[in-house]
Structure 1
């Protein structure tokens, strides 16, 4: 009997799907158990049903992509239909479920997470608007989602904050992030708090922004130290928490190295093969005035709170990468992939000579 390649593949999938092993069983907090099935990858069924709030942001898109490839059904709450279209090909038929929502509407939130066993909350704002300030999103919104998740019997709640979250911070962004963590823990005691540092990657707001607006990264003479981390490393860490949940814990995910904005500007210049910016160093008062004027545009290049954050060093804490099973990568390893399109045509394939890193003693003096 001759069997076509297509039918043979279907037969293999049927045989594999009919088998069960111990690793197909996943135990969730609260005593719930899930059983996966199917071949590994895109067409598998992991057994998980996950809701990802704040999915149209930078980090959320990568997490949904990784979840979809593992056969997880993902509920994607969205506000803008055009932004939600990108998720359609990230999973097999029926695995990506898009649902319209509003962070102020409890009924819509409950409908988005009613049937999920795990909820991720990535909702956040880099700048305030007349409709959504930092408190309404980072504090009240996070508390509302956590409360409804607890009421609906969600087993695993993962809340993404920031490495610099602190109620004593001069930045309102960091203050509300810290207050949001407290509200989430009160509403969902078993919540996992994840604190990544500044993210970089494709379409990021770090390297890409430095290539376009270098003047705004010279604040504090570029001596502010940060610990940038690759968005794919953080996304993989969050996906790993799905099968290895760590309830009631706080996980810090800083980048592997501490670098100054001055070094990162040199890195962008070296990778793009563009001359260093000759823009002057703006005084903080002038930057505040420009940022307030910029609030009147649709997409401000710099907000007043971002000016404050450009003077705040990332906290010096140990990373919990072993807990999530990921080894973070250095920013130099992938900078060319994210910045090559800023090169001119004649320089497109030229090799890159990376700048010398600042010494550890110099960073400690900053």
Structure 2
């Protein structure tokens, strides 16, 4: 009983010592909103930041929300479908994940989602067009609407996630809409941070998993297209680190550390999964476009015509800005087994990884 009583006496003192704050725990944002952090490090801490992540249910969004919540940040997660955001609730401690229903065309709902935030991330994007939302409606007009509402609400920081290949003169409508969205966001929010990641890979990606299941669609252009894949964890960490930077206006590129051909990646997938390389024929571009247009008739298109066009576009050879975010990107070979082991047969499941012998100068070009 004495030990228990002594423990009960010391516990409040310990809690009080953890709640002590110094002047370094106080941050005043450009909008004059005070941010006070306290508590032990980890998901039970409180960074004082309130962050809104539009597109939180996307591939990148789920990892960004998890990293922000683990830091102790309160995250507002706007959602369209109730079931689409359920997995995000457990990424943070009690009260850290706040879900709010929204619509991209409703400015009043957008304002409700951002009015208490000091950082707003826009990750909203679509790989294919629908009857209600085309590329411009999502990537350009939608992004501009969110930026305008955030500016009116006095949000001090805005982060727009674009794409490495965003260009106004691109043959891809997807890339053109991304470039137009960047321009509209800069007009609405001049101090916005625009981030351009390369094609991302991870557990739920449409990159490595797609190559393992549908290699025929990646053999377009004779698999000679050059890509700069980047780990989704690295991009999410770079975005999460922005909340520690008072301001970072401008456009920043986050490509993978190396430029690889699709042919090399297909051979890597075959080596890791112990499956023979695909013998599917190389479809001409016109035939692939016809297949993609026919796929639009089903309720969930397998491949959009614009995605066929993107298969023929090399990733832009732009220098990376990873040092601005305090992240060092990792090579795709270091993580391929993690996401591709599921495609092995039972006999090969525990076999060691055997990658292609060499990338070769004709296969890859290092960024450095």
Normalising by structure 2, report the TM-score: 0.95
Q: State the shift of 1:9 in Å.
A: 10
Match of 1:297 in 2: 298
**Post-superposition offset of 1:358:** 3.2
Partner of 1:251 in structure 2? 252
Name the residue aligned to 1:287. 288
Q: What is the CA-CA distance between 1:250 and the residue it aligns to? A: 1.0
Helix, strand or coil: the match of 1:240?
helix
Q: State the distance in 2 between where 1:236 and 1:139 align.
A: 25
* Greater mean alpha carbon deviation, residues 158-167 or residues 291-300: 291-300
1:33 CA drift (Å): 3.7
2:131 corresponds to 1:130: yes
Q: How does 1:1-366 map to 2 (within 5 A)?
A: 1-3=2-4, 11=12, 14-21=15-22, 23-361=24-362, 363=364
| 1:108-164 Cα deviation digits (max 9, x unpaired) | 111111111110000000000111100100011000000000000001100000000
Determine the C-alpha separation between the residues in 2 that align with 1:216 and 1:62.
27
> Alpha carbons of 1:98 and 1:295: their partners in 2 closer, same or farther (altered >3 Å)?
same
- What SS does the aligned partner of 2:356 have? coil
Counterparts of 2:257 and 2:142 in 1: how far apart (Å)?
A: 31
Deviations along 1:9-47, whole A, 9 cap, x unmatched? 964762343222455333434454411000111111110
8 Å contact from structure 2 (residues 216, 280) kept in 1: yes
Residues 38, 46 of structure 2: 8 Å contact kept? yes
Query: Partners of 1:10 and 1:67 in 2: how far apart?
Result: 29
CA contact (8 A) 2:285 2:308 kept: yes
Runs of 4+ in 1 over 4 A off after TM superposition: 4-13, 361-364
SS of aligned partner of 1:252: strand
Is the 8 Å Cα contact of residues 165 and 175 (structure 2) preserved in structure 1?
yes
Q: d(CA) in 2 for partners of 1:359 and 1:28?
A: 50
* Shift, 1:183, TM fit: 0.2
Measured after TM superposition, the shift of residue 343 of structure 1 is 0.7
Structure 2: distance between partners of 1:125 and 1:47? 32
CA distance in 2, matches of 1:282, 1:362: 21
Any conservation in 1 of the 2:258–2:364 contact (CA below 8 Å)? no
Query: How has the CA–CA distance of structure 1 residues 117 and 20 changed in structure 2, closer, same or farther, with 3 Å as cutoff?
Result: same
Alpha-carbon deviations, 1:315-340, whole Å to 9, x = none? 11110011000010100001001111
Structure 1 segments unaligned to the other structure (5+ residues): none
Alpha carbons of structure 1 residues 266 and 246: separation in structure 2 relative to 1, 3 Å: farther
1: CA distance between counterparts of 2:7 and 2:200?
42
Normalising by structure 1, report the TM-score. Answer: 0.95
* Cα distance change of structure 1 residues 6 and 359 upon mapping to structure 2, 3 Å threshold: farther
| CA distance in structure 2 between the partners assigned to 1:4 and 1:223 by the alignment | 72
Call closer, same or farther: CA 1:163–1:27 in 2, change over 3 Å.
farther
Contact 1:16 1:39 in 2 (8 A): no
State the shift of 1:254 in Å. 0.3
Structure 1 contact 13–39 (Cα < 8 Å) conserved: no
Q: Distance in 2 between matches of 1:287 and 1:199?
A: 23
In 2, Cα distance between the equivalents of 1:120 and 1:8? 44
Which whole-Å CA distance do the structure 2 matches of 1:27 and 1:274 have between them? Answer: 56
Q: Could you list the per-position Cα deviations for residues 258-304 of structure 1 after superposition, in whole angstroms to 9, with x for gaps in the alignment?
A: 00111111111111111111110010001000000111122222110
How many angstroms does 1:174 deviate by? 0.4
Report the Cα offset of residue 357 of structure 1.
4.0
Cα deviation for residue 237 of structure 1 reads 0.2
